[in-house]
Structure formats: structure tokens, C-alpha cells
Amino acid sequence: MIICSLFLFINYSLADTSIEKREFVLYAKLPLVPKISVLNIATTLIENNKNEFDLNFKVKTLDLIKYFNEIDGNGSVKGFKNQNNYYPEQYIYDYTRKGKNKSVVLKYKDGNLVNEYFKPSFDKNKLTPISDKQKNNTIDPATLFLRLLDINKTSRCNDLVKVYDGKRRYNIIFKEVSLVNNIIECSAQQDRIGGYKKDKVDLYTNTDLVKLRYDTTSDNEFLEFYAKKGLLEITIKEIIN
């Protein structure tokens, strides 16, 4: 009886939990040079019937990039869904960059950032300022990525998303939506609020132009993230097995 009850409980729990694993590659391209693979991003999204979600992700540099600017990271987001969108309660990202171990922890309550932890600490005086008020009602970069995979999580590309990654604070502002050959293309702009070094290009966060593309023939499936910084073009595409 105990074994049967346990078996039924396990099956009931699994029925109320969805697990989705996906994998992406970030590419970089300069004029007259073939694009190169820069980052591998692997995600596991777990959702249950209580509108709670857990997002686990791994980030790793690829090919020649790892010899110049290697990144090897693991992170997670715990949060909830409200009105069919994702909101973080805790964001953790532990990573190694250029041989140095680093950590970021952000904790939220009622939409406000209530605690943040960094290892090692950094001198904020060397960055453009961010007020505590500007950190409220923000989401972390992993939750942003999760939202961008579903056009409905951005109000069908009619949204302003406030993002804080522990150092940089920026907005993603959607500007225009077009439909060409069954492809929805959403144009957006990154508005930098604070936390940046002057005249410093960051491959992963500083962009002048953002575009997202979805396939209308396949239930608005995510096709591509595209960003541009000067002459540098960045794309993120999913690996379909």
C-alpha cells in the first residue's frame, strides 16, 4: 500500500510539473569576417501548478574565444508567474572569467530589490551612478532572456523591460513590429541607465540595436536574437536537436 501510494504521489507531482531543456549559441561577426561561435547557453526551465518557476542555466565560451576571454558559469533564478509572465525572487550567478571566480546574488520582494551580493566587490565610483530607486521593479538578465523567448511575454513586442545585472542597469524598449514572409521582427533599443565604464565596449551587454524574430507559421516560435554594437553583430540562435 505504501509503495502504491508513493508511486501515485510521484506520478501526480510529475503531472503538475513541466520541465523544458533548451540550448542556444551566441555568435559574433565583424565585416568581411565569417561569424564565430562565442557562447553556449544551456537552460532548464521547471514550472509547477503553483505558478512557481526555477530556471537553471549554464554559460560557456566556445572555440577561440575561450583563449582570450574565457567564461564558465552556472546560474539559477527562482521566481513566480503573474499574469502569465516571469518575475524573479532570487537570482544567483557563479562564474569564472579570465581565471577569476566571481558571484552575483540578487534578491527581490514585492518587485523591489532588497539584497545584493557580489564577490569580489567592485568600486562603484568608477561606474556611472545607479540609485536604489532605479533598481526597483527590475528583472535579472536570465529572466529577461526567458521572456524574450516568448513574444507574449513582451506584450507582443510592446513593452519596456527594466534590467539590472548587479552592476549595469538598462532598459529594453521595444520600438517597432513588422511582419515579413511570416516572420515577426521586433525592433528594440537598449537605454543605458547606469553602472557603465565610459568608452568601454562590452560584447554581452552594450548594444545600439536589438531585434527579435519569431516564426508565425510555428506558433510564433523564437527564431533569433540579433544585436549590433558599432560594426559588431551578435546573434543568438537555438540548437534544434
In single-letter form, the type of residue at position 198 comes to K
**What Rg do the C-alpha atoms of the chain give, in angstroms?**
19
Averaged pLDDT, 74-91: 95
pTM: 0.87
In single-letter form, the type of residue at position 13 comes to S
Question: Which residue in the block uniquely carries the three cell numbers 521595444?
Answer: 174
How far are the Cα atoms of 35, 162, 232 from residue 32, in angstroms, in the given order?
A: 9, 35, 11
- Residue 75 and residue 57 in contact, taking contact as beta carbons nearer than 8 Å: yes
Averaged pLDDT, 98-120: 94
Give 15's pLDDT tier (boundaries 50, 70, 90).
low
| Structure-block grid coordinates of residue 8 | 501515485
* pLDDT tens, residue by residue, 174-212: 988 999 999 999 999 888 899 988 655 554 455 678 899
Does the pLDDT at position 86 exceed 80?
yes
Does the pLDDT at position 12 exceed 60?
no
- Residue 130 and residue 195 in contact, taking contact as beta carbons nearer than 8 Å: yes
pLDDT of residue 207: 65
Reply yes or no: is the peptide bond before residue 120 cis, omega within 30 of 0. yes
Report how far residue 98's alpha carbon sits from residue 70's, in angstroms, rounded to the nearest whole number.
6
